[in-house]
Structure 1
Amino acid sequence: MPNLPDVVLWSIPAFVLLTVLEMVSYRLHPDEDAAGYEAKDAATSIGMGLGSLFFDLVWKIPVVALYSALYAFTPARVPVLWWTVLLMLLAQDFFYYWSHRGHHVIRILWACHVVHHSSRKFNLSTALRQPWTGLTSWPFYLPLVACGVHPAALAFCSSVNLVYQFWIHTERIDKLPRPFEYVLNTPSHHRVHHASQGGYLDRNFGGILILWDRLFGSFAAETERPVFGLTKNIETYNPLRVATHEYVAIARDVREARTLREMAGRVFRGPGWQPASPAPLAGDAAPAAKGAA
């Protein structure tokens, strides 16, 4: 197959330049309502991004081996042509939507993805705040490889999707003209995704296209100003703690679980899941009711 460029690698100079320009813009034209930049927060985001480059190389080894084995097994082949690349980009974005959505509703996957949401700022450096345990997305793309998409072509499409999402991490761009807002993921839509208000939680999972959210009922428009971060924020700038804090919380909850069902729920249910409280015994209910009277 033709050699495809490493889109992320080629985009790094643009990432750096645009981040610096945004920092300067806040210096020259402060915005009291915008989250802006904080030195420690930006340094943590950049450190997480640099760390993810290293760890991604490690995680790619078993994933590439598995994808390559599946590709060798399947008889289907999708040629790499200009129009098939467009179709592959569309298909990858579709599966990215479900991967992203899954990482918000399954706690063990959220433990990886929560890193990206852990900043209370929303700027271009936030886009660089990537997890170090990125071994959780590969199952969602198995259907593409099984249909004959070469693993290198899938990697190219994933890189394009990632690079596209860099520019939407900003408060400096207001809403775009309506046709763009209807079809594409934009800064306005992604601000909603990073917000911690109840009405904004678990919305706008699309990568390049916001159409998937409109189609599958997870879309929310930006109305009130977002409050960024987590529903329960972490008070640390330590990259290692940022990368692992939710795994530590899961381990603690599993250790304290009373039943196997609760243990499974702590791992595979939603991030805010709690076991149902045991129903009171009949003998305990009467005194409680009497006391209330």
Structure 2
Amino acid sequence: MKEEITLDSVVSSAPDLILYAAPLMIGLALLEFYYSWKTKREWYEKKDFLTSLSIGLVYVLQGLVTKSIMFGLVLWVYNIVPWSIPTNWFTSILCFVILDFCRYWAHRYGHEINFLWATHVTHHNSEKYNLSTSFRLSWTQQIKVIFFIPISFLGFNPIVFFICHQIAVLYQFWIHTELIDRMPKWFSFLFVTPSHHRVHHGRNEQYLDKNYGSTFIIWDRLLGTFEPEREKSIYGIIDQPKHFNPVKHVFHVWVDIFKNMRHASSVREAARIFVGPPSSLKKIPKQQRRD
């Protein structure tokens, strides 16, 4: 019979890498900001940077509470299944690869389903692309923990999952830059690079809904969502906010979803709005709103 793992044991055995890395990430973003200003590039805009920084700091502080809930669910699933996978270097790498596949689908559905888009749009609603863009992590994105349940169900140790998850999040930091042009071909064939991710953040027609990979770009190549960088990306979203309010940047799609649902003619239509594609959302004119 396998030994039950508690949340306390996960927290004590797996350090919070993101919390420790935060000062270094902010420092590197400031250096890139300075380099952009010194070389007269337009990678940064002061208000946009402060918005990204505000969103990121709240996310880190919020994570001190919400991670317990998120990993509590992962832990609960692991403890109720009767099997487990031994922990060693091979199974740890296997856990990371399977986790990355789950992250691909979490990311992809985050662009295809309204309520998941609401948890992800914050990461895209900047017209700049720089290291600070990686700080734009929605305060509601913990909903996507449902995509990671298979990891626990398969029997991977939650401590291994916790570490792999943090490494995957940290990998995302360096790919948010225009400073790095192209990586070697062998690397770009397997791994997500800044070039790949600039495409993902572009709202150019041919770039929309492409390159969902988190660490490995191979999933996009296999599943038909890969697009190489052919022209400069135009960053932001189709319905681009014209303000720098961090709270509105986090919640504006949630507001649109619920306003659309309130105008639905039936419960079934409201449900379709909630799980429908982002293209189905309509802007409700002020004079027609019920709020």
What is the rounded CA distance, in whole Å, between the counterparts of 2:175 and 2:137 in structure 1? 15
Query: In the alignment, which of 207, 214, 220 is matched to residue 213 of structure 1?
Result: 220
Mapping 1:110-259, distance limit 5 Å: 110-259=117-266
What is the rounded CA distance, in whole Å, between the counterparts of 2:278 and 2:123 in structure 1? 15
SS at match of 2:142: coil
8 Å CA contact 1:56, 1:134 repeated in 2:
no
**Which stretches in structure 1 are left out of the alignment for 5+ residues?**
276-293
Alignment: residue pair count: 272
SS at match of 1:206: coil
Instruction: Please list the CA deviations of residues 231-259 of structure 1 after superposition, one character each: whole Å capped at 9, or x if unmatched.
Output: 11012211111111111001111111223
Query: In the alignment, which of 67, 76, 80 is matched to residue 69 of structure 1?
Result: 76
8 Å CA contact 1:55, 1:133 repeated in 2:
no
Q: How many Å apart are 1:9 and its aligned residue?
A: 2.4
Q: How many Å apart are 1:274 and its aligned residue?
A: 6.2
Q: How many Å apart are 1:270 and its aligned residue?
A: 0.7
SS at match of 1:9: helix
8 Å CA contact 1:195, 1:201 repeated in 2:
yes
Structure 2 match to 1:24: 34
**Percent identity among equivalent residues?**
37
Instruction: Please list the CA deviations of residues 113-143 of structure 1 after superposition, one character each: whole Å capped at 9, or x if unmatched.
Output: 0001011100001110111112221111111
Instruction: Please list the CA deviations of residues 27-81 of structure 1 after superposition, one character each: whole Å capped at 9, or x if unmatched.
Output: 22223xxx41111100010100011112223332333332222111112222332
> Does the alignment pair 1:266 with 2:266?
no
SS at match of 1:30: coil
> Does the alignment pair 1:46 with 2:53?
yes
Give the letter for the 2:144 counterpart: S
Q: If the length of structure 1 is used for normalisation, what is the TM-score?
A: 0.88
Structure 2 match to 1:101: 108
8 Å CA contact 1:195, 1:228 repeated in 2:
yes
Q: If the length of structure 2 is used for normalisation, what is the TM-score?
A: 0.89
What is the rounded CA distance, in whole Å, between the counterparts of 1:104 and 1:75 in structure 2? 35
What is the rounded CA distance, in whole Å, between the counterparts of 1:7 and 1:69 in structure 2? 22
**Which stretches in structure 2 are left out of the alignment for 5+ residues?**
1-8, 283-291
SS at match of 1:136: helix
**CA 1:126–1:133 in 2, change beyond 3 Å: closer, same or farther?**
same
Instruction: Please list the CA deviations of residues 165-209 of structure 1 after superposition, one character each: whole Å capped at 9, or x if unmatched.
Output: 100000111011211111110000000000111211111000111
Over the residues paired in the alignment, what is the CA RMSD in angstroms? Answer: 1.7
8 Å CA contact 1:196, 1:228 repeated in 2:
yes
What is the rounded CA distance, in whole Å, between the counterparts of 2:204 and 2:190 in structure 1? 24
Larger Rg: 1
